[in-house]
Structure 1
Amino acid sequence: MAASGDGSVTGGTVPLARGEGLAAWRQIADGLSADIEAGRIAAGAQLPTEAALAARFGVNRHTVRRALAVLAGRGMVRATQGRGTFVEAPPLAYPIGRRTRFSEIVSRAGREAWGDLVAAAAVPADPGTAEALGLAPGAPVLELLTIHRADGTPLSTARTCLPLPRFSGFERAYAARGSLTRAYAEYGVGDYTRLSTRIGARAAAADEAARLEIAPGRVLIVLASVNVDGAGTRIQATRSLFAADRVELVVEG
């Protein structure tokens, strides 16, 4: 296989070995894996449809689907509903320091950054959120559920809480700007810094996996962070879930 000029994958492939004890789906997965690792299929390239691959290898679509599931489990491809299956890009170096900005980090890597607002609601602060923001338990906060993308690929999904009434209507600014930093500017917050970051890991639940376009059970990096404004006031408590094989955290001194 080879990548065409538009990023899709074209061309023939090596016929499957029959009657040698190696399952067809395994041969397909190993062959595609070898092509990806050797660069014959480029990062970001779109694989042919299941039907096209089935015809090429002389197998049924179920066999192809199983092979692609194996590659997705290895973090080599990403299936996007309604768009197709794409080769994953190399992990993005993601610095964690006093000024951690998703948009800046992604842009410096030469990729396009954007944040999608999934949901927003005013809710009473749970004890953990209240402590992080220096509020009384039950104080009103604005809760945002977001997805953060690089060139359309979801890198992370997050639950962010902001104190009310200071940030009333912030969800509209975020939805329009696709960035916390740009939305903060509309509220007079010209700069903000990281007060604390806690890093953990766990498996992805089904709803989290769906937002990140990964298989349930894949490893997530969990970042719990608190940001303060220029006056040192706590303005943001976020719990971010990163697809572990899409980023490489770099902790700065």
Structure 2
Amino acid sequence: MVSVGDGVARWRRVADEIRSAITDGTIVEMLPPEVDLAQRFGVNRHTVRRAKAALADDGLLRAERGRGTFVNAVPKRLVYSVGTRTRFSENMLRQSLEPSGRLIRSEQVAADRDKAELLKTKIGAPLHRLEKLSVADGMPLSRSICYFSVERFPAIIESYAETGSITQALRMCGVHDYRRGETRLTAERASVRDIELLNCAADAIMLISSALDIDLDGKPIQAIRTKFLADRMELVFGGS
């Protein structure tokens, strides 16, 4: 039965349950009748109908007059390996996809307490804030906000705008290799900004990676927060 204890709409919870059932193979090919789904989730048929409409808008379901509601082929998620050397371009090239990056916005900001601690700088020190979109074969997969020390990387924005790659931009700034210091993973629903940039559904789930990259001497390079679309990406931890 679907509850609404945390304020999430019933239809959205039903849509999430149906999506999960399709993903794990519990529901295949054809959706059960609305009356069965209503009984299964403890809601009325109007709620089920709204959930089905949302999933149809996402391209997961299709209704055929006189036959019922069918499940469309579920696109295979792309694999994104998270390890000590996490690189978007390498992840995509291994899957025969053409990676690219787009600079959305950049600005200079003052380091708050958290960023100062991560980047080993003073509170109020100038930081580059770089917002970017990561794309593979023309499909947007994630959006990131990166922070760099202005003192250490004065030209990082121009370098990224020129190359479309953080790795290449860092090489231009004198850092030829770096590694992941830490990664923390959470999740939340898509924001208005996510929907706009990633062309995703209003109820899409985002996987959020908050990470710190360091150079080979252990000095912080960038603090980065990346939002991945859960239905397009699968994060795999471990390895190099």
Following superposition, the deviation at residue 88 of structure 1 comes to: 7.8
| Structure 1 moving runs of 4+ over 4 Å | 66-69
Following superposition, the deviation at residue 89 of structure 1 comes to: 4.5
Q: 2:58 aligns with which of 73, 77, 90?
A: 73
| Count of residues in correspondence between the two structures | 182
Distance 1:130 1:88, change over 3 A: farther
Q: What residue is the counterpart of 1:175 in the other structure?
A: 161
**What letter corresponds to residue 139 of structure 2 in structure 1?**
T
Following superposition, the deviation at residue 164 of structure 1 comes to: 1.4
Following superposition, the deviation at residue 209 of structure 1 comes to: 1.5
Question: Is 1:164 aligned with 2:180?
Answer: no
Is this contact kept in 1: 2:181–2:212, CA < 8 A? yes
Is this contact kept in 1: 2:160–2:166, CA < 8 A? yes
Question: Structure 1: 5+ residue runs without aligned partners?
Answer: 1-32, 39-65, 77-86
Separation of aligned partners in 1, 2:162 and 2:147: 18
SS of residue paired to 1:249: strand
Question: Structure 2: 5+ residue runs without aligned partners?
Answer: 1-21, 23-27, 30-50, 62-72
Following superposition, the deviation at residue 67 of structure 1 comes to: 8.6
C-alpha deviations, 1:51-88, integer Å up to 9, x for none? xxxxxxxxxxxxxxx99853343668xxxxxxxxxx98
Task: Give the superposed CA RMSD.
Answer: 2.4
C-alpha deviations, 1:84-125, integer Å up to 9, x for none? xxx985211111100000000001100010010000111101
**What letter corresponds to residue 232 of structure 2 in structure 1?**
R
Separation of aligned partners in 1, 2:56 and 2:133: 23
Separation of aligned partners in 1, 2:175 and 2:150: 15
SS of residue paired to 1:208: helix
TM-score normalized by structure 2?
0.70
Separation of aligned partners in 2, 1:145 and 1:192: 20
Separation of aligned partners in 2, 1:92 and 1:133: 31
Identity value in percent = 35
C-alpha deviations, 1:35-59, integer Å up to 9, x for none? xx98xxxxxxxxxxxxxxxxxxxxx
TM-score normalized by structure 1?
0.66
Separation of aligned partners in 2, 1:228 and 1:91: 29
